[in-house]
Structure 1
């Protein structure tokens, strides 16, 4: 059997669950200011040494939340010229939907990469 046909081992249920929590921790932003950044950052820092899957998904969640936060900051500045209001709504809905999709994929053991994401955390 060649390397291209070798099956990739599925992460355990516990590993998949922690990867999912890394994505869902962004909803802490609904309760705390900057919680969307703090939640994924803390979970990723706590669990990144446990498994490479958690490390990758934690970084991906954090990078997306950094991107979303920057987009929200720009939208808030654009409120002055009215366009900021619809952009805030669009970013909020998009970030919510993509976060839920990422959490579901991570729980299924699939590595998820957010579209339109700046990745400063390597």
Structure 2
């Protein structure tokens, strides 16, 4: 009699790539960049290998971007520093998901620049 082990995780690099690229929904919907990766992470972290690590990095990155926006908007009154913070957040918010999607397709670990580690 064969015993099946249902706790074995599958390797699914395309799903990891989709999870990283789904962050770009923020530029179209305003909030989808946090909601969609969060749903994918919560539903697939026990089923897909490395999804837990990638999901935590993505959620930490999205929370960091939100914090940069919260800090940047009032900082506009301080000699335009806020505008620089907002430009920085927009650029890394667009570039880093693409870079990490490429890393995920190659089976590498994600690394997001300027991210606060809130979820460990």
For the aligned pair, the TM-score class normalised by the smaller chain equals: 0.7 to 0.9
2:67 aligns with one of 64, 67, 70: 70
TM-score by length of 2: 0.82
- Give how far 1:32 is off: 2.2
Match of 1:97 in 2: 95
- Give how far 1:51 is off: 2.2
Structure 2 residues not aligned, in runs of 5+? 1-9
Moved over 4 A (4+): none
Structure 1 position 18 matched with structure 2 position 19 = no
Match of 2:45 in 1: 48
TM-score by length of 1: 0.80
- Give how far 1:74 is off: 0.6
Deviation string, structure 1 residues 28-78 (Cα, Å, up to 9, x no partner): 111223222112111111211112311111111111111111111111111
The alignment's C-alpha RMSD in Å is: 1.6
Deviation string, structure 1 residues 99-120 (Cα, Å, up to 9, x no partner): 1111110111111121321121
Structure 1 residues not aligned, in runs of 5+? 1-10
Q: CA separation in 2, counterparts of 1:25 and 1:121?
A: 19
Q: CA separation in 1, counterparts of 2:88 and 2:113?
A: 15
| Higher share in helix | 1
